[in-house]
């Protein structure tokens, strides 16, 4: 079955979608992206993803090629053109095609726009019941992790270290404080309080991070946004990772040591249920 993507104004089969070798996304990783789930063909938290896209584009000084209405329409058309009810939808905007030179092309060139989709693959029930094993590492990425850029070599290297250690993810620390994981935000729970690192330029402002805090607020679960040290991470009752695709995942082992009693905790189960409830209402419209 042929899969349809959107590339620079056209809907084409994925195998026909081609980009120039001089594209700055290819040459420099000079591009930003978004990744969001569609449940029952409805794009989840679309408005929030488009707001973050605007922020990323403005931060790297690429003119936004479309307004939100046009983005929504193009994304929905890709979802509708593909055969799965639940999808993982990826969009990328690069600075465009120009001779290889670091300064921005002047005058600016047309950005390259890609939207593609794949079947939504989420953690299995067995993985949820067991929880993730993770390692910790020094966060040696750049200082603008608030921008959702495709320049992800550091994330890939760090994630591979986790895989090499038989783990699912890596929790990163900068100056002794937890930032995030290679492709997820981090929460801990201690004495019933949900704690998240503050949203600053060292972490991606996660759409799921915001939704978790929104749900905590709405259901009067206590939470704090503040720094988390490695000692606190090790001593937490629960650790969670959040991302649009993996939703909320419990971490049960950090650096070879069990988190709490080594099983997904009660606050995780409560938050996961709230999240599923919110999601089902959303998918039903």
Residues in contact with ligand PMP by the rule CB under 6 A: 35, 180, 183-185, 204, 206-209, 242-244
Which of 14, 18, 148, 190 does the annotation list as catalytic? 148
206 versus 265: smaller Cβ distance to ligand PMP? 206
How far apart are alpha carbons 152 and 163 in whole angstroms?
16
* Least distance between ligand PMP and beta carbon 179 (Å): 9
* Shortest separation between residue 165's beta carbon and ligand PMP, angstroms: 19
**Complex with ligand PMP: residue 189 or 249, whichever CB lies closer:** 249
Active site residue 190: no
Residue number, 35 or 230, with CB nearest to ligand PMP? 35
In angstroms, the CA 239 to CA 223 distance is: 14
What's phi and psi for 229, nearest 5 deg? -90, 170
Question: What DSSP string describes the chain?
Answer: ---EEEETTEEEEGGG----TTBHHHHH--EEEEEEEEETTEETTHHHHHHHHHHHHHHTT---SS-HHHHHHHHHHHHHHSS-SSEEEEEEEE--B-SS-SSPPSSPPPPEEEEEEEE-----HHHHHH-EEEEEEE--S-S-TTS-BS--HHHHHHHHHHHHTT-SEEEEEETTEEEEESSSEEEEEETTEEEE---STTS---HHHHHHHHHHHHTT--EEE---BHHHHHH-SEEEEEETTTEEEEEEEETTEESTTSS--HHHHHHHHHHHHHHHHHHH-
Question: Which residue's CB is nearer to ligand PMP, number 115 or number 184?
Answer: 184
In the bound complex, what is the minimum distance in angstroms from residue 50's beta carbon to ligand PMP?
A: 12
CB of 97 to ligand PMP, least distance (A): 26
Kindly state the smallest distance separating residue 204's Cβ from ligand PMP, in Å: 4
Q: Between residues 98 and 212, which has the closer beta carbon with respect to ligand PMP?
A: 212
- What residues are labeled active site? 148
């Amino acid at each position: 079955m042929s899969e349809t993507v959107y590339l620079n104004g056209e809907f084409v089969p994925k195998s026909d979608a081609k980009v120039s070798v001089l594209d700055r996304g290819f040459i420099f990783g000079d591009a930003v992206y978004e990744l969001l789930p569609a449940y029952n063909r409805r794009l989840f938290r679309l408005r929030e993803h488009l707001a973050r896209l605007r922020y990323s584009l403005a931060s790297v000084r690429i003119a936004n090629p479309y307004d939100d209405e046009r983005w929504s329409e193009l994304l929905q058309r890709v979802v509708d053109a593909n055969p799965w009810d639940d999808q993982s939808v990826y969009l990328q905007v690069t600075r465009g095609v120009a001779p290889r030179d670091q300064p921005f092309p002047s005058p600016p060139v047309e950005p390259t726009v890609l939207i593609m989709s794949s079947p939504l693959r989420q953690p299995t029930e067995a993985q949820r019941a067991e929880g993730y094993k993770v390692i910790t590492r020094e966060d040696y990425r750049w200082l603008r992790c608030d921008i959702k850029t495709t320049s992800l070599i550091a994330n890939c290297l760090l994630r591979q270290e986790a895989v090499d250690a038989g783990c699912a993810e890596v929790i990163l620390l900068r100056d002794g404080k937890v930032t995030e994981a290679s492709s997820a935000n981090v929460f801990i729970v201690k004495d019933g309080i949900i704690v998240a690192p503050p949203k600053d330029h060292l972490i991606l402002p996660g759409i799921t991070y915001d939704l978790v805090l929104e749900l905590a607020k709405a259901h009067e679960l206590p939470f704090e946004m503040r720094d988390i040290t490695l000692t606190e991470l090790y001593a937490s009752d629960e650790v969670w990772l959040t991302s649009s695709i993996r939703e909320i995942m419990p971490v049960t082992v950090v650096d070879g040591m069990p988190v709490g009693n080594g099983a997904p905790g009660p606050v995780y189960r409560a938050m996961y249920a709230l999240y599923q409830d919110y999601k089902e209402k959303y998918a039903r419209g």
